[in-house]
Amino acid sequence: MNRTLHTGIATTGHTFRSRIARIVTAFYLLTLSAAALAHVVTIPIHISTPSSVTGGNNFTTSVGIGSATSENGTVLVSTTRPDILASPTGSWPYTLTVPANTTSGAFSVSASSVSSSQNATMVTCATNEDISNPNNWRATCSVTVNP
């Protein structure tokens, strides 16, 4: 049995089914790709650090989010004192991954040696916001770096 596609080309039933299968497969793969690219905006609601640390040491910063999702989420974290606090990448803002099915993520911050006590603020916001704008800060906490 021959079928004529709208292109006017005669094809056999097997070829026709084969083309339909390829089209359906391509559509399915595009749908999966689009789903994989979907970005879940994670809103940070809490950030915590020790209240004080000794310069030259590392400390843990934790960020909490409102509810767990089935996919990894990300939040931006920064500091008002990049001169004395360093992120794991060495630059701010730092993108923290909150693992799927959890409500928090943590990372290590390095505090520089200081000659006198220095105050710093850690801040966080959603990744689709400008963290340099204090109006976008969703959570903040203070840390003092001591000599």
Side-by-side strand order, sheet with 44-48:
44-48, 58-65, 104-111, 85-86
Taking a C-beta distance cutoff of 8 angstroms, is the pair 83, 112 a contact? yes
Of 10-19, 51-60, 77-86, 113-122, which gets the smallest average pLDDT?
10-19
Rounded to the nearest integer, the mean pLDDT of the chain is 83
pLDDT value, residue 87: 98
Q: Where are the domains of the chain?
A: 2-37, 44-146
Q: What is the pLDDT of residue 17?
A: 63
pLDDT at 19: 64
| Reported confidence tier of residue 36, pLDDT bands at 50, 70, 90 | very low
Q: What is the pLDDT of residue 42?
A: 77
The CATH code of domain 44-146 reads: 2.60.40.10
pLDDT tens for residues 106-135? 999 999 999 999 999 999 999 999 999 999
pLDDT at 69 > cutoff 80: yes
Give the pLDDT of residue 41. 63
The pLDDT assigned to 33 comes to 43
Report whether the peptide linkage leading into residue 93 is cis, meaning its omega lies within 30 degrees of zero: yes
Instruction: Please tell me the predicted confidence (pLDDT) of residue 57.
Output: 98
User: What is the rounded average pLDDT of the residues 21-29?
Assistant: 52
**Tokens 């905006």 belong to which residue?**
41
CA–CA gap between residue 110 and residue 15 (Å, rounded):
63
Spatial distance between the Cα atoms of 125 and 147, rounded to a whole number of angstroms: 30
